[in-house]
């Protein structure tokens, strides 16, 4: 099933120069990039993004981290995109992430874990809408889409 998912490269991923590596991996997997932007999140935008964690012990540190530097927001489209991206990212705790995943290959800790991806269809819709207007998402054909079905 073709679906869309939201991905954000966090300040540590941007700061370590891993944006291109992440994009390369998703493209090679056969996913289609349909939205891309870079911004430094405000505290209010970060609070909206992480609203389900409000009140938890790690919330303030999470907001401080995600607003500490630039982030890259992306929308990817493809067959079972949500599951594919989450598997490619690896376990949230980088120390437990499998080699071959983004976090397993490059991650250094649990909190500074390089990348975020939507965990389900409803979350993907909410997160995409938080960062992108529909007019900012580009629909186009890949050169050889028949190889990706």
Range of the domain at 127: 2-138
Is 116 a catalytic site residue? Answer: yes
- Give me the CATH number covering residue 86: 3.30.70.141
102 in any annotated domain: yes
Please report, for residues 26, 29, 66, 88, 149, the alpha-carbon distance to residue 116 in angstroms, rounded to integers and kept in the order given.
Answer: 13, 17, 11, 11, 26
Residue 127 lies in a domain: yes
101 within some domain: yes
Residue 144 domain-assigned (yes or no): no
DSSP 30-58: T-EEEEEEEEPPPHHHHHHHTGGGTTSTT
The total number of structural domains that make up the chain:
1
Catalytic residue among 49, 53, 110, 116: 116
Question: Quick check: is 145 in a domain?
Answer: no
Helix (H) or strand (E) holding 105: helix 102-106
Structural domain contains residue 143: no
Per-residue pLDDT of the chain (149 residues; tens, 9 = 90+): 899 999 999 999 999 999 999 999 999 999 999 999 999 999 999 999 999 999 999 999 999 999 999 999 999 999 999 999 999 999 999 999 999 999 999 998 888 999 999 999 999 999 999 999 999 999 998 877 666 66
Give the E-state strand segments of 13-130 in sequence order.
Answer: 32-39, 71-79, 115-117
C-alpha span between 60 and 89 (Å, rounded): 24
């Amino acid at each position: 099933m073709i679906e869309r998912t939201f991905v954000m490269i966090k300040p540590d991923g941007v700061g370590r120069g891993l944006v291109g590596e992440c994009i390369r991996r998703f493209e090679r997997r056969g996913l289609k990039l349909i939205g891309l932007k870079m911004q430094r999140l405000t505290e209010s935008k970060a609070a909206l993004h992480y609203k389900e964690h409000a009140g938890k012990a790690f919330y303030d540190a999470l907001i401080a981290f995600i607003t500490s530097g630039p982030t890259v927001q992306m929308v990817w489209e493809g067959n079972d995109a949500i599951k594919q991206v989450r598997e490619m990212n690896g376990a949230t705790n980088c120390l437990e992430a499998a080699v071959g995943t983004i976090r397993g290959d490059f991650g250094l800790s649990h909190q500074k874990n390089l990348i975020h991806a939507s965990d389900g269809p409803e979350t993907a819709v909410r997160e995409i809408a938080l960062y992108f207007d529909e007019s900012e998402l580009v629909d186009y054909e890949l050169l050889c889409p028949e190889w990706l079905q």
